[in-house]
Structure 1
Amino acid sequence: MSDAASASSGFARWTSILLHPFAVFAVLALIAAWRVDPAALPRTAIGIAVAIAIVWAFVLQRRRSGRWGTVDASDRRERPILYALVLVVAAGYWWWLGGRASATGQGVVAVIAMLCVAGIANRWIKLSLHMASLAFASVAMLSLWPTAGIAALLALPLLGWSRLRMARHSLPEVFGGSALGLLAGIALGVLN
């Protein structure tokens, strides 16, 4: 591999790490709490940290045991159990925040709905959860902190390139994930 190709692969990998759904949802949760219900910021931080730790521990265990080829659950057959765990954890996070009484509860429900759609679609297409999460967060942040929302929208093409460069997704999977996230973000805005 040439130095340029190696640098390109490294940049793609770091882009995918920095814009991983865990990071994107953590930032979104903290921004939402900060802007909508500052008193809930500590509770939100604890909840999102625990939720991510549970899912990450599971992902690492699956990868280290050899059951998964990558930490991204890149094989479509690896995803159903990941979706099931994430949905249970997200529901627990919603409950931890206070359920329907939480100022940010509708956002968590929108994410759960988005993951349900991605899980059902997984039968036919492995939608990029990286793209879905960043697209959703970008739309959600437009009303919370417009500068952050615009920055997230502008990062979408870079993330899409990185997912393609790393061969984690095909072009339809990248576009499909983006569309799902954008639609879920728009639906959240309409319902609020």
Structure 2
Amino acid sequence: MNDTLAPARAGDAFARIVSIVLHPFAVFAALAMIATIVLAPTAWPRTLVGMTVVIAVVWGFIWQRRRSGRWGTVDASHPRERPALYAVVLLLLAGYWWWTRGSVAPLAQGVLAVVAMLCVAALLNRWIKLSLHMASLAYAGVTLLSLYVPAAVVALGMLPLLAWARLRMRRHTPGEVLAGCALGVAAAVALRLLAR
């Protein structure tokens, strides 16, 4: 009996690791640092501090919600859990945009694209719980095509693995995974068109 459960447990554990490593926080932090190093190398300390503060505050909020029993998972997996998460993240991103707009103008444009992407996801949340994991990785992959192609290839190449992980963990349906990916690609393409 234990021999038959071991592969399933290993698959579940691997899916969880993939979801943690490719969490939107990690993806956006990596994208912000790469964009800063490529576009405004002297501003990387400011970007690092800003990203650290945003991620710490959001994680604190998530941890408090989970520990208090208001959320079932740290992923805000139920659609009713997401509005509060969207509100906190959007507020922090607005502050981050304001803080970086002078020192790293292209990064500020990227933050606005992420804000727009999250606003669309928040509006659609009533009907579909888009995968923010997929949206963030797709956004990063397409955005990185104009910044650092090797990182873009890695990000885009990881999309199928992340899709499998989100489905394996039963956090999303196939439609939610595809819709999240489509939203990320659309936001990145819009950013590239507007940045010209």
Tell me the TM-score normalised to structure 1 length.
0.98
Aligned Cα root-mean-square deviation (Å) = 1.1
Residue 43 (1) aligns with residue 46 (2): yes
User: What letter corresponds to residue 173 of structure 2 in structure 1?
Assistant: S
What corresponds to 2:105 in structure 1? 102
* Percent identity (aligned): 60
Measure how far apart 1:46 and its partner are.
0.2
Task: Within 5 Å, give how 1:1-192 maps onto structure 2.
Answer: 2-98=5-101, 102-192=105-195
Is the partner of 1:104 in helix, strand or coil?
helix
Measure how far apart 1:170 and its partner are.
0.4
Cα separation, 2, equivalents of 1:173 and 1:159: 13
User: What letter corresponds to residue 190 of structure 1 in structure 2?
Assistant: L
Measure how far apart 1:98 and its partner are.
2.4
**Structure 1 runs, 4 residues or longer, greater than 3 Å off:** none
User: What letter corresponds to residue 90 of structure 2 in structure 1?
Assistant: L
Gaps of at least 5 residues in structure 1 are: none
Gaps of at least 5 residues in structure 2 are: none
Cα separation, 2, equivalents of 1:101 and 1:2: 50
Measure how far apart 1:99 and its partner are.
5.5
- Report if aligned partners of 2:135, 2:184 keep a CA contact under 8 Å in 1: yes
Cα separation, 1, equivalents of 2:101 and 2:7: 50
Cα separation, 2, equivalents of 1:40 and 1:99: 10
Cα separation, 2, equivalents of 1:30 and 1:184: 19
Tell me the TM-score normalised to structure 2 length.
0.96
